[in-house]
Structure 1
Amino acid sequence: MAIPKYNEMMPAVIEFLGDGEMHTALETAQFVAKTFGLTEAELQERLPSGVPCVSNRVGWALAYLKKAGLIERPKRACYRLTRTGQEAYRKGSACVTLEYLRQFPSFTPYVSHQDRSNAGTPSAPEAPSSQTQSPQEMMDAALAELNASLADDLMTELMKISDTDFERLVAHLLIKMGYGSFRLNEDAVTKKSGDEGIDGIITADKFGFDAIYIQAKRWKLESTVGRPDIQKFLGALVGQGATKGLFITTGRFSEGAIRYAEKQLHAKIVLVDGVQLTKLMIEYDFGVSSAATYTIKRVDYDFFQEEI
């Protein structure tokens, strides 16, 4: 089953705290995971920001319930039901929904702010919504959408440059990623005459102990690199006595090409398509610049436990 949304977890949280005792956030998350029968793979699932999905959603379920006054936090990361929460528990934890929380004055301003934040959001099923996603997930979804648009813009620019410039760009991207250095790889792109099917050679580390042979093809986005192209590249590697090859294209690879590259034993061939290429450029700040930076802050509980 899919991992429940944070609001779907709220009844399980109330059920767990129904014994009147104080429990940690970790204990609560473990109970929720067991209640919904989450698999190990689902427990390991992370948001694009790297935050564990389950713990993030349980955290927001706790935050919403605390805003409504159903639970309290007597000490750091520990929760228990309030009188209001105990009443909800007696009525049946299944009644605890976002609509149920709206009756509490302390929750109304909070959820109203969330609703205003989502005003004008398209009503497509995948659109972020305070009814289905936590604020962290909404930010991650917005970032993913911005990066998807950025990737499209990057690809448009890549298709405007010459083949030679594309080969240089690939070599410099690898250097940006930590392979070699500009000094060691200033002539990474091979000359057109006599390149023997190799577009570039770059050292695999900053000391130049090993080399990666590059094939960089700026092909149309709908173009498919097939098995014969990878076979030719492998032949070029063998001719150079090389064991490491990187084939990068703005197009895509066929299933046959992928399988052929994967089964090679004597030469490691890595394939990078257009989608992966733009992702790497964004990840390593290559050909892009920061438009805005947002810092997410939380309460420093240790601060309040020390003498001020």
Structure 2
Amino acid sequence: MTGLPTWEQFIHPVLAVLSTGETLPVHELRHKVTTLCALSDSQKTAKLSSGQPVAENRITWAVSYLNRVDAIERPSRGQYRITEIGHTLLKQYPVAITEKDLRALAKPDDNWWVRKGATEIIEDTAVPKANRLSDCTALDPIEMIEEGVERINSDVAAELLSMIQSREPAFFEYVVMDLLIAMGYGGTHGKGTVTRLTNDGGIDGIIDQDALGLSKIYIQAKRYGSTNSVHRPEVQSFVGALSGKADGGLFITTSSFSSGAVQYAQEVPSRIILIDGKRLTQLMIAYGIGVETKETVKVVRIDEDYFA
């Protein structure tokens, strides 16, 4: 893999390929990027231990993070095109674009880039040390794996929200039901009900809390864009809809809750649980909703008892 660009070095070529304004499927985009970078056959076929081509993996990371800062957009599944932000980046950085340049465009709620002061190891351990963006020698191998998994989960979480927000509101309500059933609610047979959309201002779903259905959880699900927060009046409306039905409920959104909404939920006598987009995607990943396990890493150590 001598001379194979890092994922960061693929950022500029990805934008350059898309700069024509075409909408390209991801496989064609990867092909054009490898052609533009004049990768050799050995570089194109180099694989990780998992069997995935290294070049494809790194290009995919570049695409993912460009999409994360809205430099490119995905008009449909697996299709990408450049945005005005992407064109601006190419004009501002005509030779190369670094992760630091992208991090400057990170959204305020992008917890990975906002929280991390420096970049840790990225997609694979095959990146030469001289090409890494920061020194990871302070981390032991287990910490490096955990950092990598955290980064992957953060990226998947952002994409999960984007995909949910691109679907119709009714789909989000079924996602919520699937998640709660996966978490063990809905009784022995996973019994949940999504109410008619005409009731959208109050209760969107009902699910059993126990096996006999003696106690129920009432749910409100709001599929909002990341900039559209849920405010106090909407939570108040939900509490009003619960009157005479239950002492509490679950309010889930793909966006966030305003400070007024959070304060009201804490002070109201009814027990109201608020789950924002960040917590929602964490739960979806933890319970396998909308995601699948791509690879399992097996970590071994010496069995001292064997040699005793």
In which range does the TM-score fall when normalised by the shorter chain? 0.5 to 0.7
Q: Which amino acid aligns with 1:279?
A: Q
Q: What TM-score do the two structures reach when normalised by structure 1?
A: 0.56
- What does 1:30-179 align with in structure 2 at a 5 Å threshold? 118-123=129-134, 129-130=136-137, 132-179=138-185
Q: Distance in 1 between matches of 2:166 and 2:159?
A: 11
Deviations 1:265-298 (A, max 9, x none): 3x11000001111111000011101111001111
In 2, are the aligned partners of 1:184 and 1:208 still within 8 Å (CA)?
A: no
1:77-112, Cα deviation, whole Å (9 max, x unpaired): xxxxxxxxxxxxxxxxxxxxxxxxxxxxxxxxxxxx
What SS is found at the alignment partner of 1:212?
strand
Compute the displacement of 1:300 (Å).
1.2
Q: Distance in 2 between matches of 1:211 and 1:145?
A: 36
Q: Distance in 1 between matches of 2:289 and 2:126?
A: 36
SS in 2 for 1:280: helix
Alpha-carbon displacement from aligned partner over 1:217-247 (angstroms, at most 9, x marks no partner): 0011111111111111111111x42112100
Report how far residue 194 of structure 1 moved. Answer: 4.8
Determine if the alignment matches structure 1 residue 243 to structure 2 residue 250. Answer: no
Matched with 2:205 is 200
Q: 1:296 aligns with which of 292, 299, 308?
A: 299
- 2:230 is the alignment partner of 1:225: yes
Deviation, 1:196, is 6.4
Rg (Cα) greater in structure: 1
Identity between Structure 1 and Structure 2 (%): 40
Q: Which residue of 2 aligns with 1:29?
A: none
- Distance, in Å, in 2 between the alignment partners of 1:184 and 1:208 is 11
**2:194 partner SS:** coil
Unaligned runs of 5+ in 1: 1-113
Q: Is contact 2:181-2:190 (8 Å) kept? A: no
TM-score (norm 2): 0.56
**Alpha-carbon distance between aligned partners in 2 of 1:144 and 1:248, rounded to the nearest angstrom:** 23
Distance 1:119 1:281, change over 3 A: farther
2:198 match: secondary structure: coil
Matched AA of 1:140: E
Distance 1:147 1:197, change over 3 A: same
Letter in structure 2 aligned against 1:236: A
Shift of 1:120: 2.6
Are the counterparts in 1 of residues 252 and 275 from structure 2 also a CA contact under 8 Å? Answer: yes
Does the CA contact (< 8 Å) of 1:201 and 1:214 recur in 2? yes
Q: What do the CA deviations read for 1:150-179 (whole angstroms, capped 9, x no partner)?
A: 111111210122111111110111001100
8 Å CA contact 2:187–2:209 kept in 1: the answer is no
Runs of 4+ in 1 over 4 A off after TM superposition: 114-119, 181-184
Aligned with residue 216 of structure 1, among 210, 217, 221: 221
Q: Give ranges in structure 2 of 5+ residues lacking alignment.
A: 1-124
The number of equivalent residue pairs is: 184
Aligned equivalents of 1:291 and 1:216: distance in 2?
Answer: 29
Quote the Cα distance in structure 1 between the aligned partners of 2:219 and 2:206: 6
Asked whether the equivalents of residues 186 and 207 of structure 2 are also in contact (C-alpha less than 8 Å), the reply is: yes
